[in-house]
Amino acid sequence: MVTDHIPGRLIAVEGLDGSGKSTQIHLLYQWLNGLGCKVFFSEWNSSSIVRSATRKGKKKQLLTPTTFSLIHATDFADRYERQILPMLEAGYIVLCDRYIYTSFARDGVRGCDSHWLRKLYGFARHPHITLYFELPLETALGRILEGRPQLKYFEAGMDLNLSGDIYESFRIFQGRVKEQYDAMAEEFGFTVIDASQHIHVQQESVREMIEEKIDLPRFKLRVKR
Amino acid sequence: MSEKKCYGNPPPHVDLSRLSGFLIVIEGPDSSGRSTQTRMLSNWLEQRGYAVVQTGLLRSPIVGPALEAAKQGNVLSPRTMSLFYATDFYDQLENTIVPALRAGYIVLADRYVYTLQARDLVRGADPGWVESLYSMAIVPDAVFFLMASSRNLVERTLTANQLLDYWESGMDIGISRNWFESFIRYQRRLRVEFKNLQEKYGFEIVDANRSVNAIQKGLRAHVETVLHDTRSVLG
């Protein structure tokens, strides 16, 4: 894993679907942007080049745990090498909604070898700060399942044959993903945020922590907008 | 029945038992006569009553088309290309090669993980990373590497296509602005990587500077031994 010095700062958020992490990182982005910092946001599974392949495989349910994992690694590598790393070298604060730990958790549950996964993503540096939005499984499930949404096949872990019922499959799958996250929290030194608190309260404590750990004035844009 | 194994751990949920077919790999650069030799071998095996399935690179329906398109624009980083190729490879391994081996076919692979590794290594990939990436590949029953001199490769390529291929000339690496020189030097570097891989994985080197028929004759003799040896183990 890459650890050498780099001018930028990398912040990642991780957590279950329904943990509110995307909301939190959005608010974080708004705050940093408002302060006049150089900030860049990148989302898991969003590379335009890789997307067509991912969509095809997912739609036709053609992916195995191995190809599912590799196609996400392809997406990540594209974003990492063309955006995330250059941004860090240019002294940006890079915010990632999900990072390599999402693969470790989900692909781990799908049966991929954990050593193989860590090697696969060995080219990526660990974030300076990884925020893990932790909350009880039932709360996370409740937020997502309330209103009986259309769940996607892979999102619900249907490929694992956990249950014929997509909602039940989602519950079991999310439970296992949470176990993986909880186990990684110590291994990778996640900063655990209690995601059952009020949104505003969480954001306050996140901002406080970031202000403490990152010398924000250093990351202000030189060119005034 | 030949016992199949992978270089490292097998892919999750892939059952390696009862794979009664044979996996035979033909490796070599473009214009080494690889595809011609594979086709001839396939016909010969089928004439002898063995069912054959052919695989190659970029044939997976998931990533094949996307990768072809991306190659045209040349916008992917080497690592993204590696991972795209790896996805394509494992898709074929799990959905074509393993089922065919289970059904008792002879799988003729027109290139395998060695070409993929050599290309990555020439482009500066970390050897440990590449090795781990492909560690779930099934160990073939035989691997033949068609080795030809760069001069011969150039001549054959130009005779067939009247131009040198961008990727096969390694133009993406920036070795030289001169295509001919880039081709020669890129192929030479590939050959060095192949030699290292050969020491590690132990494949059979076939002199591809000879005539099509001479090469084919040699290949058939080798394949005969592979099929025979494994049968006699069966009793």
Question: pLDDT tens digits for B48-72?
Answer: 999 999 999 888 887 777 777 777 7
Beta bridge partners of B142: B24
- So what's the pLDDT on residue A172? 97
Give me the sign of the Cα torsion angle B128, B133, A78, A109: negative
Residue A23 — pLDDT band, cuts 50, 70, 90? Answer: very high
In 10 A of CB B83, how many CB atoms?
A: 26
Q: According to the model, what pLDDT value does residue B75 have?
A: 72
**Do A116 and B9 count as a contact with CB atoms less than 8 A apart?**
yes
Asked casually if ipTM beats, i.e. exceeds, 0.90, the reply is: no
Structure tokens, B129:
């990373």
Q: Tell me how many domains chain B contains.
A: 1
Chain B residues whose C-beta is within 8 A of a chain A C-beta are 8-9, 11-13, 61-63, 65-67, 70, 75-77, 79-80, 82-84, 86-87, 90-91, 94-95, 126, 128-129, 132-133, 135-136
User: In 3-state terms, what secondary structure has residue A200?
Assistant: helix
Residue A98: helix, strand or coil by DSSP?
Answer: coil
Neighbours of A102 (CB within 10 A): 21
The whole-number pLDDT of residue B231 equals: 57
How high is the pLDDT of residue A3?
64
Residue B127 confidence (pLDDT) above 50: yes
Average pLDDT, integer, range B144-170: 88
> Average model confidence (pLDDT) for chain B?
90
Burial class (CB in 10 A: 0-12, 13-18, 19+), A60: exposed
Is residue B233 pLDDT above 50, yes or no? no
At residue A83 the predicted structure's pLDDT band, cuts being 50, 70 and 90, is very high
Residue B235 has pLDDT above 50, yes or no: no
In a domain, B111, yes or no: yes
Q: Among B50, B34, B64, which residue's Cα sits nearest to residue B100? A: B50
Mutation to test the B interface, candidates A50, A103, A115, most B Cβ within 10 Å:
A50
CB-CB neighbors (< 8 A) of B75 in chain A: 49
Is B7 inside any structural domain? Answer: no
- Given a cut of 90, whether residue A62 has pLDDT beyond it is no
- pLDDT tens-digit profile of B15-44? 999 999 999 999 998 889 999 999 999 999
In this model, does residue B234 exceed pLDDT 50? Answer: no
How confident is the model at residue A179, as a pLDDT? 97
Q: Does residue B163 lie within any of the structural domains?
A: no
Q: Look over chain A and give the mean of its residue pLDDT values, rounded to a whole number.
A: 93
Contact at CB, B63 and A71, closer than 8 angstroms: yes
Higher pLDDT residue, A54 or A97?
A97
The answer to whether residue B65 is domain-embedded is yes
Burial A66-98 (b: 16+ CB within 10 A, else e): bbbbbbbbbbbbbbbbbbbbebbeeebbbbbbb
Higher pLDDT, A149 or A216: A216
- What is the predicted pLDDT for the residue at B74? 65
Interface test with B, best of A51, A66, A110 (most B CBs within 10 A): A66
- When pLDDT is averaged across residues B156-182 and rounded to a whole number, the result is 87
Establish if B67 belongs to a structural domain.
yes
B218 pLDDT higher than 60: yes
Facing A66 at nearest CB: one of B11, B65, B132: B11
User: What is the predicted pLDDT for the residue at B63?
Assistant: 77
Nearest Cβ partner of B77 from A62, A78, A111?
A78
Q: What is the pTM of this model?
A: 0.88
Q: Which domains does chain A have, with CATH numbers?
A: 9-218 (3.40.50.300)
Q: Report the distance separating Cα B194 and Cα A18, nearest Å.
A: 49
- Whether residues B13 and A111 touch (CB distance < 8 A) is answered with yes
Q: Is residue B58 part of a domain?
A: yes
Instruction: Say if the Cβ atoms of B11 and A74 lie within 8 Å.
Output: no
Whether residues B129 and A122 touch (CB distance < 8 A) is answered with yes
- Check A65 against B13: CB less than 8 A apart: yes
Q: Tell me whether residue B102 is in a domain.
A: yes
- Asked whether the beta carbons of B90 and B136 are under 8 A apart, the reply is yes
Say whether pLDDT at A41 is over 90: yes
Residue range(s) defining the domain that contains residue B126 = 22-149+193-226
Contacts of A65 in chain B (CB under 8 A): 11-13
Of the listed ranges B74-78, B147-151, B175-179, the least confidently predicted one is B74-78
Q: What is the mean pLDDT of residues A57-73?
A: 87
**Partner-chain contact B126 A113, CB within 8 Å:** no
Q: Which residues contact A51 (CB under 8 A, 6 or more apart)?
A: A45, A75
CATH number at residue B199: 3.40.50.300
